[in-house]
């Protein structure tokens, strides 16, 4: 019998959700997606999340909901805000969504959720030692795992290299903004991932984000001590990881 939970992935432009089989790491049915409300205010986003959950088929009132969010999340409080309203900073997000949905809710950082999906169901499944998940997009998101256990809120995308926050140089957004070739972007990624490799000596680095589907254009160009591989769950990773953590949190 499938173990089920709802996963919601909140981004700066869109909010998507689905029912998840958290045993096998697959979506049950189609994803539901709404635009992120302009300004990204807490009450407006909570209303969109409520509508998404209402649109999902066969969801029981007792079914837990996992929500991944672009912020540092500590004990259910959002401590930062990327591409959403600054009203999220210091907000009890667990309480906000629990009230809106009238059911158990677990809020987690979006990169952490994506990492959980890859460790439980994807490229890092059954891998011990130190695993670093990275997502290349508007910025660089990261998640850290030791023998499969998450170390929350590891903001390694903001490493200072050459005197700058290096996600401004090596993110996929930087590639697009500066119209970098794959070779030029790979040179920047080499500097970023080379620094991660030198500082942490990870056993495995997983590369996610939408651009990971084009991994053959840049990953083979990187020379590291650590193994580096593309993510497998890609755009569903946040939903899958958030749902898995919500289910685990509701049964602990």
Residues 226 and 245 occupy one common structural domain: no
59 located within any domain: yes
89 located within any domain: yes
Residues 218 and 150 occupy one common structural domain: yes
Q: Rounded to an integer, what distance in angstroms lies between the CA atom of residue 30 and that of residue 200? A: 38
| Domain coverage including residue 197 | 125-231
164-165 and 4-10 beta bridge pairing: unpaired
52 located within any domain: yes
Tell the residue number behind the tokens 């997983």, with chain if given: 206
Residues 132 and 208 occupy one common structural domain: yes
152 located within any domain: yes
Collapsed DSSP state (helix, strand, coil) of residue 31: strand
Q: Rounded to an integer, what distance in angstroms lies between the CA atom of residue 135 and that of residue 69? A: 14
Residues 165 and 242 occupy one common structural domain: no
Q: Rounded to an integer, what distance in angstroms lies between the CA atom of residue 123 and that of residue 65? A: 24
Phi, psi of 166 (to 5 degrees): -75, -10
Residues 72 and 146 occupy one common structural domain: no
Residues 68 and 26 occupy one common structural domain: yes
91-92 and 77-78 beta bridge pairing: antiparallel
Q: Rounded to an integer, what distance in angstroms lies between the CA atom of residue 11 and that of residue 49? A: 12
CATH number of the structural domain spanning residue 224: 3.30.420.40
Contact by Cβ (8 Å): 243, 5: yes
Q: Which helix (H) or strand (E) holds 117?
A: helix 110-121
15 located within any domain: yes
Residues 227 and 240 occupy one common structural domain: no
Residues 87 and 147 occupy one common structural domain: no
210, two tokens: 């939408």
How many domains does the chain fold into? 2
Residues 72 and 145 occupy one common structural domain: no
Residues 106 and 148 occupy one common structural domain: no
Q: Rounded to an integer, what distance in angstroms lies between the CA atom of residue 140 and that of residue 77? A: 22
pLDDT in tens, the chain (252 residues): 569 999 999 988 899 999 999 999 999 999 999 999 999 999 999 999 999 999 997 667 778 999 999 899 999 999 998 778 999 999 999 999 999 999 889 999 999 999 999 999 999 999 999 999 999 988 899 999 999 999 999 989 999 999 999 999 999 999 999 999 999 999 999 999 999 999 999 999 999 988 999 999 999 999 999 999 999 998 899 999 999 999 998 876
pTM confidence score = 0.91
138, two tokens: 């508007």
120 located within any domain: no
């Amino acid at each position: 019998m499938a173990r089920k939970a709802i996963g919601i992935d909140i981004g700066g432009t869109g909010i998507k959700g689905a029912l998840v089989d958290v045993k096998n790491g697959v979506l049950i049915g189609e994803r539901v997606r709404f635009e992120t409300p302009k300004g990204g205010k807490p009450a407006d986003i909570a209303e969109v999340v409520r509508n998404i959950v209402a649109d999902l088929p066969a969801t029981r009132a007792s079914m837990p909901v996992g929500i991944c969010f672009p912020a540092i999340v500590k004990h259910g409080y959002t401590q930062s805000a990327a591409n959403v309203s600054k009203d999220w900073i210091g907000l009890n997000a667990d309480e906000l969504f629990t009230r809106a949905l009238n059911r158990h809710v677990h809020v987690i950082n979006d990169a952490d959720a994506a990492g959980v999906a890859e460790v439980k169901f994807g490229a890092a499944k059954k891998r011990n030692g130190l695993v670093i998940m990275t997502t290349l997009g508007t910025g660089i998101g990261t998640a850290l795992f030791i023998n499969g256990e998450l170390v929350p809120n590891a903001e390694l995308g903001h490493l200072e290299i050459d005197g700058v926050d290096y996600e401004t140089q090596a993110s996929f957004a930087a590639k697009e903004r500066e119209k970098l070739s794959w070779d030029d972007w790979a040179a920047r990624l080499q500097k970023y991932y080379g620094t991660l490799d030198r500082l942490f000596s990870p056993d495995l680095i997983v590369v996610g984000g939408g651009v990971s589907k084009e991994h053959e254009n840049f990953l083979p160009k990187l020379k590291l001590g650590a193994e580096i591989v593309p993510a497998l769950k890609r755009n569903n990773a946040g939903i899958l990881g958030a749902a898995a953590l919500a289910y685990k949190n509701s049964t602990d």
